[in-house]
Structure 1
Amino acid sequence: MTKQELQNECQRLLICENLNDCNELLDIYINFFFETIKNHQDENAESQKMHEAKIVNQMMMTKAMNLKKAITGVSYESASGWHLNNIIDPTIIASLVRNIFETVAMFNLVYLKPETDDEKNIMYWLWVSAGLKYRQRFEAVGQTVENKEKIENEKVEIESLANNIRETELFKKLDLKNQNKIENQLKSKEYQMFFDGLAVNLISWQECVKLMGIKETLLPNIYTYFSLYSHPSNVSVFQFAGMFEKGNEAFPDLTNFNLKISFFMFSIFIADYIKLFPPTLTTFENLNIIEQIVINFHNTMARSNEYSINECANVLE
């Protein structure tokens, strides 16, 4: 392949003007996730925390596969012979991409942003505690002996996690105001925060965009956008009505836009995952050069060259 042919092929997969190109790019992401699982899943993780980080990679693979399935669209033919032409529902795509966004933000927040051991442990324990506390809501319906026992065991684990946090040297060094911020996170079943020295900074999902290093001009209010489509608000209803107007269908372009956001998020996750697990760089560099370039480009376009996985793009110069 000549350099010009390589540039043209990369550009096609970078721009993704149609769903066929989007499908092909999703296959590239799925292939990397699968190869990473195949080549590295059996490598010993140093802790339960790191083992669970590897499981997130498996989750990302299934999310990409479900996204690929969703953009095939749906159609329907009634018993009386009436039929609905194949359509793609962008609100379903938006819900999937929002979940991908939250997963990538969580991974960065829990595994990449913390710098010291205490920061890493506190963030992980907050994340675990939040999940267990949400599951405690099912206490009223857990009627079997086994479920009741599990609920009680998890109550003990939740308290143990809180005590682990309080016993860290970092927590003890915090002033009362910042300690209370963490205590409130424990009570409210949240973990969206980060440390700046001895300061605890609480953040929203939207603010995770900046924390991940994403350019602020690239995805302004993106979480609000996904929430509008994911929740049954009045806005989502009248927007839905306009997506399928005959002769002026908006759903293909909206689907393509949502997919491009997912490409940014998949690439950011891959870059972060390789940073957390350096041996996986070998698997990335065993991909063909086009696959490396398009994955890395969406990562650096969303953030900057500072986050580049490798120097694969040099072959285009």
Structure 2
Amino acid sequence: MKQDLILVTGASGTVGTELIRLLKAEGHKIRATTSKTPKDASSVHVNLATGEGIREAFEGVDKVFLLSPPGYADQYKMLSPMIQEAKRRGVKKVVLMTAMGANASDETPFRRAEIELEKSGLTYNIVRPNWFMENFNTFWIQGIREHGKILLPAGKAKTSFIDAKDISAVIAKLLTTDKFDNKDFDLTGPQALDHDEVAKAISDVTGKKIVYQEIQPNELKVGLLAAGLPADYTEFLLAILGFLREGYSARTTTSVKDILGRAPGDIKQYAQAHKQAWL
């Protein structure tokens, strides 16, 4: 019996790296996309901004994990050519990752991609994770390390942050079983926390005093632009942070447990695992 070849986009990202590790551990054949020069035969160069390499990436592929690369506000433009190629090839299954809240309006770029996949005739799953816990050891780390502060315009709103390792585990399961075919899932952590509670969790494991300090959106905007983020993507981030501040990210779901048969990891487990990042 022929072994399925699974195409993983975003292979070097937070979700993709762990997804590939899990799939390889289970003995699956992987083809990873990279925007850089491929390091080995299991990787293929793809530029989603131009479409370069898409046809080659799908050659002989049976199943696909799709996500839009960070830095692009028009995710539909990134994802649609991949969905179209998957349809043209008649792949067995596509798992698409967007973001929680993407289906609030049919006009958003993410939702347009979801609709295209839903109407493609392909077997699919859609996962919409909430804000990653890992943002605190990546995107927001500078303020924590240099000032002992989480600096965000998030107010006192609670968010059901999710560990990206749980997202990867869910995607690996969906790619390798047909039990949940043609369903969409909002993925969250086990509880909703405000940023003061996140700061306390990091403080507890590091022994350093970490606090949350609310800043104005424009302060964050200046920092993001200075870091080299495109203006339209910066506005996209500020917009979704605005939704967070209004309380739209507080909802919790049972999707991780329903799919994996175990509860998602909590903030204490995450903080312990990433302790070295903040020291």
Q: Please, what TM-score do these two structures have when normalized by structure 2?
A: 0.24
Q: Please, what TM-score do these two structures have when normalized by structure 1?
A: 0.22
Higher strand share: 2
Q: Which has the larger radius of gyration?
A: 1
